């Protein structure tokens, strides 16, 4: 029953495993189930064998029991027969019983042999190994026990064979007894025959005697007397019977012993059965555990399958929904697909013909592009031509503008009253302006108003930017290749350095000019490549020194270029390439440091020397290769005050003479240039000689005349303004210019030389052009023409 159940479950598990089809633990379960099913099968085989053995043993035992029972019954029947024979005194059937017993004995032996053969066959059957199974040990134990049982059975059989032997012996003895019994029976039969004959005779006699009643009793007595011999035989027979009974009793005893042995064998069998039952129970329990485990595994598996199934159902539902959506989309997409397919087919057809079309299109496009390139080239040429023309035009216009404005322009800048001017009437303001005309300045000199007209007048409220805007055009022209000179002229303390250099917070023309140059160059960077360099020099006592050089003390010379171009150059003058305002600041700082280490009183020294910042702008037109070079000279001139008036001597006097000479030379050069004279005396001073290139030709010059507004400086202010106005007035009319220039230049030169030798105090003031001048004795100014048309550079 167990086997059937197990088999059924195994099948169930196997079916579940095959049905599950889910990945993960199933292969393990499957393997386990397979192993278990194999075990089960082996167990079933073992059990079947055991059952077979049991059955055989039972059958054998039963047979033996039956045989014993039969023997018993036979013995009983023999005993009954003996008793019956004893009772009947007859021995004729004993032989038949003996024969029957012998036959039965023979049958028993044959059955016993058959059993032995079966047993041997069973033993000869090999045990099926059960490898890799947890029950194999148990099975081997069972097998051991089985072999033990078989041994016991063999022993029992041995005992049985011994018993059989005994039975044989006893049977042999019985046969002997039977033989004797046979003899006895034969004798008895003979005796019986004889007795029966005699009995018949007796009966006949009795019957005849019965007819005669009294004689019958007698006869009987006779018979009885006559049968003494019979009685003797009977007693013998009874003795024999007695003997036989004893033998039977002995047989019974033997039988009883055999029964006892059989009993013990039964008991052993029962014990063995109990053990087998115990093992079976253990097997059952193990099987039960295994089944439970299998059950739990199956439950787990089922649960997992259910969960997976539920998940799959959910996913399936989602997939179904998606599918429905996709179907709907498909339905809507189908017409679109149809149109797309049509389009695609159409496109395919077009694509087939596309290479030809493409070739044609490429040919035409190439032709068009070639044509376009040619057109563009033509246009470019045209544009380039126009551009060059425009460039020339612009330059022309600029030149014209500058020409109209004048190549040399003069502006005045009045500084505000400062603390240094002090207080009181001396520090009162002596300068006023025309609100309607920014080129007019009024000076109140010794109570008399004097007015001057210049190109532009900047009041004290004008900012650095305002002044710079005025000079901006000049600086831009430098990029176009013009040479430009900007001079700051005026007495010490009038604001020259402030206008040119300014303060770090509020820079002057120098830094603003460079900033403008940088921004302009940046703007034109796509068409032009520019290189900007700066040099800084000073002229002190007619000695040129490099402010950026390593040896500031070294005297520099101005020489003609050896290439025969007539250009001038200064060998050894340091030139720094600058690309940003930072670079400029570094250069200025370097120059300033050079000056401070060189001179103990820098302020005083700087007022006695000309400071030059030379900016060179070299440009290359990227498209045409055209090269331009423009030079911007920013000059902070030495103080123009008349030192002679204070009776200076020695170095101070020498400085004053040099300053006077150089400023005078500057005036001469400007006058010569304005009057377009053939000879311009550039070589008369280091300053003009150095700036020769930048002052001649179509160069542009701006003179910023710095003015102090206070009363105590009106005299110097007057001279500065007269100088400025003269310059401007000379420029306005060629005729007058020539005349004025001639008189001024010659006059100045004439007056200069003696002045150098015997310095005289300059005139204190000049009321107005054309009016008389108060000149101080000993001053070079004193020797000027009183008309005031020409004014010497103050000394």
**Nearer Cβ to ligand ADP (490/507):** 490
Per-residue contact flags (x/-) with ligand ADP for residues 21 to 60, judged by CB under 6 A: ----------------------------------------
588 near ligand ADP, rule: CB under 6 A? no
Q: What are phi and psi of 549, to 5 degrees?
A: -80, 170
Among residues 497, 717, 729, 745, the one that binds ligand ADP under rule CB under 6 A: 497
Q: Is 628 annotated as a binding residue?
A: no
SS3 content of the chain, % helix, strand, coil (to 5): 65, 10, 20
**Nearer Cβ to ligand ADP (415/783):** 415
Q: How far apart are CA 174 and CA 164, in angstroms?
A: 14
Size of site (CB under 6 A) for ligand ADP: 14
Q: How far apart are CA 433 and CA 453, in angstroms?
A: 11
CB 25 within 8 A of CB 304: yes
**Nearer Cβ to ligand ADP (245/459):** 459
Residues from 301 through 320 that contact Mg ion (CB under 5 A): none
Question: β-strand 700-707 against 408-414: which pairing, if any?
Answer: parallel
**Nearer Cβ to ligand ADP (305/494):** 494
Q: How far apart are CA 296 and CA 438, in angstroms?
A: 115
- Taking contact as CB under 6 A, which single stretch among the options 276-284, 415-423, 445-453, 647-655 is the one that binds ligand ADP? 415-423
Q: Is 418 annotated as a binding residue?
A: no
Question: What's the min distance (Å) between Cβ of 489 and Mg ion?
Answer: 11
Among residues 483, 497, 511, 616, the one that binds Mg ion under rule CB under 5 A: 497
Per-residue contact flags (x/-) with ligand ADP for residues 696 to 715, judged by CB under 6 A: ----------x---------
Which residue's Cβ lies closest to ligand ADP?
495
CB 449 within 8 A of CB 429: no
Q: Is 496 annotated as a binding residue?
A: yes
CB 16 within 8 A of CB 301: yes
Q: Which option in Mg ion, ligand ADP, none does residue 595 bind, with CB closer than 5 to 8 A by kind?
A: none
Q: Which option in Mg ion, ligand ADP, none does residue 588 bind, with CB closer than 5 to 8 A by kind?
A: none
Q: How far apart are CA 431 and CA 420, in angstroms?
A: 17
Among residues 495, 507, 619, 667, the one that binds ligand ADP under rule CB under 6 A: 495
Question: What's the min distance (Å) between Cβ of 492 and ligand ADP?
Answer: 4
- Taking contact as CB under 6 A, which single stretch among the options 120-128, 236-244, 309-317, 411-419 is the one that binds ligand ADP? 411-419
DSSP string, 720-767: HHHHHHHHHHHHH-HHHHHHHHHHHHHHHHHHHHHHHHS--PPPSEE-
610 near ligand ADP, rule: CB under 6 A? no
CA 424 to mean position of chain CA atoms: 81
Question: What's the min distance (Å) between Cβ of 422 and ligand ADP?
Answer: 13
Q: Is 424 annotated as a binding residue?
A: no
**Nearer Cβ to Mg ion (435/504):** 504
Cα dihedral across residues 638, 644, 649, 650: positive or negative: positive
Q: Which option in Mg ion, ligand ADP, none does residue 452 bind, with CB closer than 5 to 8 A by kind?
A: none
The Cα angle at residue 106 between residues 100 and 111, in degrees rounded to 5: 125
Q: Which option in ligand ADP, Mg ion, none does residue 487 bind, with CB closer than 5 to 8 A by kind?
A: none
Q: Which option in ligand ADP, Mg ion, none does residue 498 bind, with CB closer than 5 to 8 A by kind?
A: ligand ADP
What per-residue string of b and e applies to 667-678 under the rule 16 or more CB within 10 Å gives b? bbbbbbbbbeee
Question: What's the min distance (Å) between Cβ of 405 and ligand ADP?
Answer: 23
**Nearer Cβ to ligand ADP (579/603):** 603
Q: Is 497 annotated as a binding residue?
A: yes
Among residues 416, 647, 733, 770, the one that binds ligand ADP under rule CB under 6 A: 416
498 near ligand ADP, rule: CB under 6 A? yes
The DSSP bridge partners found for residue 487 are 635, 703
The DSSP bridge partners found for residue 540 are 543
Residues from 185 through 204 that contact ligand ADP (CB under 6 A): none
Q: Within a 13 Å sphere around the CA of 222, how many CA atoms are in the beta-carbon half?
A: 14
Q: Within a 13 Å sphere around the CA of 19, how many CA atoms are in the beta-carbon half?
A: 12
Question: What's the min distance (Å) between Cβ of 535 and ligand ADP?
Answer: 21
510 near Mg ion, rule: CB under 5 A? no
- Taking contact as CB under 5 A, which single stretch among the options 34-42, 490-498, 684-692, 776-784 is the one that binds Mg ion? 490-498
Among residues 74, 143, 287, 496, the one that binds ligand ADP under rule CB under 6 A: 496
Q: Is 795 helix (H, G, I), strand (E, B) or coil?
A: coil
CB 395 within 8 A of CB 449: no
Q: Is 328 annotated as a binding residue?
A: no
**Nearer Cβ to Mg ion (508/788):** 508
566 torsion bin: left (phi>0), alpha (psi -120 to 50), beta (else) = left
Residues from 736 through 755 that contact ligand ADP (CB under 6 A): none
Question: What's the min distance (Å) between Cβ of 638 and Mg ion?
Answer: 8
Q: Which option in Mg ion, ligand ADP, none does residue 760 bind, with CB closer than 5 to 8 A by kind?
A: none
Question: What's the min distance (Å) between Cβ of 377 and ligand ADP?
Answer: 55
251 near Mg ion, rule: CB under 5 A? no
DSSP string, 580-640: SHHHHHHHHHHHHHHHHHH-SSHHHHHHTSEEEEEEEEEEEETTT--EEEEEEEEEEPPP-
CB 380 within 8 A of CB 372: no
- Of the chain, the end-to-end C-alpha distance in Å amounts to 149
Q: Which option in ligand ADP, Mg ion, none does residue 415 bind, with CB closer than 5 to 8 A by kind?
A: ligand ADP
CB 412 within 8 A of CB 705: yes
Residues from 629 through 688 that contact ligand ADP (CB under 6 A): 639
Judging by beta carbons within 10 Å of its beta carbon (0-12, 13-18, 19+), is residue 463 exposed, middle or buried? exposed
247 near Mg ion, rule: CB under 5 A? no
Q: Is 168 helix (H, G, I), strand (E, B) or coil?
A: helix
Q: Where do contacts with ligand ADP occur on this chain (CB under 6 A)?
A: 415-416, 418, 490, 492-498, 607, 639, 706
Mark the binding-site residues for ATP, compressed into ranges: 490-497
Report the interface residues with Mg ion, using CB under 5 A: 496-497
């Amino acid at each position: 029953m167990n086997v059937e159940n197990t088999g059924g479950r195994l099948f169930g598990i196997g079916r579940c495993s095959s049905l599950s089809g889910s990945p993960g633990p199933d292969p393990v379960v499957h393997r386990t189930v397979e192993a278990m099913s194999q075990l089960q099968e082996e167990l079933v085989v073992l059990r079947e064998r055991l059952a077979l053995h049991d059955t055989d043993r039972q059958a054998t035992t039963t047979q033996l029991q039956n045989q014993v029972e039969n023997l018993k019954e036979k013995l009983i029947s023999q005993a009954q027969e003996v008793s019956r024979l004893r009772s009947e005194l007859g021995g004729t059937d004993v032989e038949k019983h003996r024969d029957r017993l012998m036959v039965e004995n023979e049958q028993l032996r044959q059955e016993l042999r058959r059993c032995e053969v079966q047993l041997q066959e069973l033993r000869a059957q090999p045990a099926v190994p059960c490898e890799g199974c947890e029950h194999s040990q148990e099975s081997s134990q069972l097998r051991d026990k089985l072999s033990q049982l078989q041994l016991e059975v063999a022993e029992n059989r041995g005992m049985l064979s011994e018993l059989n032997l005994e039975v044989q012996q006893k049977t042999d003895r019985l046969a002997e007894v039977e033989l004797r019994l046979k003899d006895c029976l034969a004798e008895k039969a003979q005796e019986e025959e004889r007795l029966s004959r005699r009995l018949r005779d007796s009966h006949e006699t009795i019957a005849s005697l019965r007819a005669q009643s009294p004689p019958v009793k007698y006869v009987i007595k006779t018979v009885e007397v006559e049968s003494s011999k019979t009685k003797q035989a009977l007693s013998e027979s009874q003795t024999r019977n007695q003997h036989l009974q004893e033998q039977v009793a002995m047989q019974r005893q033997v039988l009883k012993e055999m029964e006892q042995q059989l009993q013990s064998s039964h008991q052993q069998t029962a014990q063995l059965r109990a053990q087998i039952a115990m093992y079976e129970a253990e097997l059952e329990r193990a099987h039960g555990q295994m089944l439970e485990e299998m059950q739990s595994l199956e439950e787990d598996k089922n649960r997992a399958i259910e969960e997976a199934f539920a998940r799959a159902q959910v996913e399936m539902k989602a997939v179904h929904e998606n599918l429905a959506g996709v179907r709907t989309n498909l339905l809507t997409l189908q017409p679109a697909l149809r149109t797309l397919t049509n389009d695609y087919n159409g496109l395919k057809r077009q694509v087939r013909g596309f290479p030809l079309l493409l070739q044609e299109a490429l040919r035409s496009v190439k032709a068009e592009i070639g044509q376009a390139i040619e057109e563009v080239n033509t246009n470019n040429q045209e544009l380039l031509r126009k551009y060059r023309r425009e460039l020339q035009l612009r330059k022309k216009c600029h030149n014209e503008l500058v020409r109209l404005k004048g190549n040399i322009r003069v502006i005045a800048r009045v500084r505000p009253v400062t603390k240094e001017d002090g207080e009181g009437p001396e520090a009162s303001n002596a300068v006023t302006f025309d609100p309607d005309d920014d080129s007019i300045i009024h000076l109140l000199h010794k109570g008399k108003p004097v007015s001057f007209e210049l190109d532009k007048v900047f009041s004290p409220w004008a900012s650095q930017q305002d002044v710079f805007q005025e000079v901006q055009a000049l600086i831009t022209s430098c990029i176009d290749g013009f040479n430009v000179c900007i001079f700051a002229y005026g007495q010490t303390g009038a604001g020259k350095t402030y206008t040119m250099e300014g303060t770090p917070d509020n820079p002057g023309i120098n830094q603003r000019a460079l900033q403008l140059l940088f921004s302009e160059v940046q703007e034109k960077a796509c068409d032009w490549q520019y290189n900007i360099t700066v040099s800084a020099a000073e002229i002190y006592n007619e000695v040129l020194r490099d402010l950026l050089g390593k040896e500031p003390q070294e005297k520099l010379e101005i020489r003609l270029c050896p290439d025969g171009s007539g250009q001038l150059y200064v060998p050894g003058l340091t030139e720094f390439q600058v690309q940003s305002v930072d670079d400029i600041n570094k250069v200025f700082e370097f120059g300033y440091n050079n000056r401070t280490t060189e001179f103990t009183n820098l302020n005083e020294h700087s007022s006695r020397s000309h400071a030059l910042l030379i900016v060179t702008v070299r440009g290359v037109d990227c498209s045409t290769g055209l090269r331009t070079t423009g030079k911007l000279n920013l000059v902070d001139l030495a103080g123009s005050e008349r030192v002679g008036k204070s009776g200076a001597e020695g170095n101070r006097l020498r400085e004053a003479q040099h300053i006077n000479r150089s400023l005078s030379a500057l005036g001469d050069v400007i006058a010569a240039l304005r009057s377009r004279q053939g000879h311009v005396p550039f070589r008369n001073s280091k300053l003009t000689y150095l700036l020769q290139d930048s002052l001649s030709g179509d160069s542009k010059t701006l003179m910023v005349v710095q003015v102090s507004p206070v009363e105590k400086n009106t005299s110097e202010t007057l001279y500065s303004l007269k100088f400025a106005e003269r310059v401007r007035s000379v420029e306005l009319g060629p005729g007058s210019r020539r005349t004025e220039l001639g008189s001024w230049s010659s006059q100045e030169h004439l007056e200069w030389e003696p002045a150098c030798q015997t310095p005289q105090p300059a005139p204190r003031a000049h009321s107005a052009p054309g009016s008389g001048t108060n000149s101080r004795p000993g001053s070079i100014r004193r020797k000027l023409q009183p008309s005031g048309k020409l004014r010497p550079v103050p000394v």
